[in-house]
Amino acid sequence: MNRFIECIGVGKIFPGKNESVEALRGINFVGEEGEFVCLLGRSGCGKSTLLMMMAGLETATSGQIAVAGHEIKGPSSDTAIVFQDHGLFPWMTVQRNVEFNMKARGVPAAERRAIASQFIEMTGLTGFGDRYPHELSGGMRQRVGIARALTTRPKALLMDEPFGALDAQTRGKLQDELLDIWEKQKTTVLFVTHSIDEALLLADRILVFSPRPGRIAADIKVDLPRPRTSQSADFSALARELRGLVGADREID
């Protein structure tokens, strides 16, 4: 196995005024290059906390996280993160929002314009480069966030429930578009969700998290052929298995 992403004994404790909160305990897993991994579990189980630590935006209390052989000790060019709240700058156009990360890294103007245009086209935003976020739908704003993350060509794309606030039709369309981009870019993706169907539609592999303190309760390989449909018998069988695991109160061996 190509040990592209490694979590070794990762734990996270948030200090509190009266008592500390243990968010994660003993997270161990290895992810392969180009793999699409979903982190699945109920709200509050530490999925987003782990993603923030992988992005270098939070520090692990214990253990170690490495991406592409580099230990994560702070924000890194190896990773890019997309949040549920797209985090666009409202005073910037789509083009300038997509260019932002490259500008911050000193990429020359002509080069960043060309790269931004490439990802604007890839995410279905051609013709909207001069629009502002308030002129776009929720789905289009999320596309801008994805395009901005991809411009730095991250080795791992981290996505924290990016489609959670969208209506079902828009969500389904963006899921299909994300898979198309992933298949073209071969970027390793870690995708946080609490939707079993979304995890099964997207993932090569699903890590099921137990309730807090979050631990990996199960590591499920998804062998369903693509494109997938929730109507298939195999899909339904895996969904039933995952419902049982997500609802478990103890770590599953």
**DSSP character at residue 225:** P
Give the pLDDT of residue 128: 92
Task: Report, as ranges of residue numbers, the positions in the chain whose pLDDT lies below 70.
Answer: 1-2, 248-253
27 vs 10, 23, 113, 136, CA distance in Å?
5, 11, 40, 39
Give the pLDDT of residue 63: 94
Give the pLDDT of residue 248: 47
Q: What is the pTM of this model?
A: 0.89
Give the pLDDT of residue 252: 40
Integer Cα distance of 166 and 215 in angstroms: 28
Give the pLDDT of residue 1: 53
5-78+154-246 under CATH 3.90.180.10, yes or no = no
Domain ranges of the chain: 5-78+154-246
Q: What kind and span of H or E run contains 216?
A: strand 216-221
Integer Cα distance of 144 and 54 in angstroms: 22
Alpha helices in the chain (DSSP H): 47-54, 94-104, 109-122, 138-150, 168-185, 196-202, 233-246
Model confidence over 173-185: pLDDT tens digits?
A: 889 889 988 988 8
Give the pLDDT of residue 209: 93
Q: Which residues does 141 contact at the CB level (< 8 Å), separation at least 6?
A: 86, 88, 133
CB 214 within 8 A of CB 63: no
